[in-house]
């Protein structure tokens, strides 16, 4: 299949491609969560939910593999180094008790993927302690076992966990496409810069396209 993407068309085989949704979890997206305690406007992130839901449904209907990630740490924080926990001066840090349970701790209410995008049976759910989806997760091995060579990325935030994961994926040999309307940042200028730098220099990290272009490619098959 071919997607009208930038900087040039993106070719993929559905059976060898996975949709990877990064960290669409309550703590980043819902009011009262970790994202908001850091002083961010979570409405920006909530705005991508309808397009992401439509993309997810279209991909599921086509029979494509779906991977969901959550930024999640162990309850004892043994996988959260001080270099990550002690940043800035937030009112709450990773592991502290917030409105939705302990912040970014596996199993807590705030750590769940938002209901609109909740994983269904057969989809892969990866808890990741870092920004990149490939760091300390086994995701690469799981994708290799399934013969996956191409990845479509959505999720939050564009310039942090999404971009890091795309770069990790590119280094591991995957052809990656970023779904422009299924990703967002708390800082619109950072999203714009990340999208530009991903596809610069002949798709140095990957391609970008609106989700409608992928859905159109699926529809035409």
The stretch near ligand C5J (CB under 6 A) out of 8-16, 73-81, 145-153, 154-162 is 154-162
Structure tokens at 91: 């009112």
Residue 114 touches ligand C5J, criterion: CB under 6 A: no
Residue 157 touches ligand C5J, criterion: CB under 6 A: yes
> 53-83: b or e for each residue (b if 16 or more CB lie within 10 Å)?
eebbebbeebebbbbbbbbbbeeebeebeee
For ligand C5J, the closer CB: 22 or 213? 22
CB of 160 to ligand C5J, least distance (A): 3
The stretch near ligand C5J (CB under 6 A) out of 9-17, 40-48, 155-163, 191-199 is 155-163
**Is the distance from CB of 100 to CB of 33 less than 8 angstroms?**
yes
CB of 185 to ligand C5J, least distance (A): 8
Q: 130 by DSSP, 3-state: which?
A: coil
Residue 47: how many other CB atoms lie within 10 Å = 12
Binder among 103, 160, 178, 213 for ligand C5J (CB under 6 A): 160
Catalytic residues: 23, 128, 161
**Is the distance from CB of 126 to CB of 133 less than 8 angstroms?**
yes
**Ranges of H-type helices in the chain:** 26-29, 34-37, 43-46, 49-62, 82-85, 139-145, 163-171, 188-203, 211-219
| End-to-end C-alpha distance for the chain, whole angstroms | 8
The stretch near ligand C5J (CB under 6 A) out of 8-16, 108-116, 153-161, 197-205 is 153-161
Residue 133 touches ligand C5J, criterion: CB under 6 A: no
CB of 36 to ligand C5J, least distance (A): 13
x/- track of binding to ligand C5J for residues 54-83 (CB under 6 A): -----------------x------------
**Ranges of H-type helices in 101-180:** 139-145, 163-171
Residue 36 touches ligand C5J, criterion: CB under 6 A: no
Radius of gyration of the chain (CA): 17
Binder among 161, 182, 194, 203 for ligand C5J (CB under 6 A): 161
Instruction: Give dist(CA 191, CA 87) in Å, integer.
Output: 21
Residue 23 touches ligand C5J, criterion: CB under 6 A: yes
The site for ligand C5J (CB under 6 A) is made up of 23, 71, 156-157, 160-161
């Amino acid at each position: 299949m071919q997607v009208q993407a930038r900087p040039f068309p993106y070719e993929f085989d559905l059976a060898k491609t996975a949709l990877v949704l990064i960290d669409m979890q309550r703590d980043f997206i819902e009011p009262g969560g970790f994202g908001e305690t850091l002083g961010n406007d979570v409405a920006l992130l909530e705005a991508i939910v309808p397009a992401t839901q439509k993309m997810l449904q279209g991909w599921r209907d086509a029979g494509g593999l779906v991977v969901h990630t959550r930024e999640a740490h162990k309850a004892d924080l043994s996988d959260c180094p001080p270099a990550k926990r002690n940043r800035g001066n937030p009112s709450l840090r990773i592991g502290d008790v917030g409105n939705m349970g302990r912040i970014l701790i596996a199993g807590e209410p705030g750590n769940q993927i938002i209901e609109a995008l909740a994983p269904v049976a057969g989809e892969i759910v990866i808890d990741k302690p870092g920004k990149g989806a490939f760091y300390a997760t086994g995701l690469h091995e799981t994708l290799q076992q399934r013969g996956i060579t191409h990845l479509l990325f959505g999720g939050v935030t564009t310039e942090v966990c999404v971009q890091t994961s795309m770069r990790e994926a590119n280094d591991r040999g995957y052809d990656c496409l970023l779904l422009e309307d299924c990703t967002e940042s708390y800082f619109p200028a950072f999203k714009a810069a990340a999208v530009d730098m991903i596809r610069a220099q002949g798709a140095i990290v990957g391609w970008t396209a609106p989700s409608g272009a992928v859905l159109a490619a699926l529809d035409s098959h």
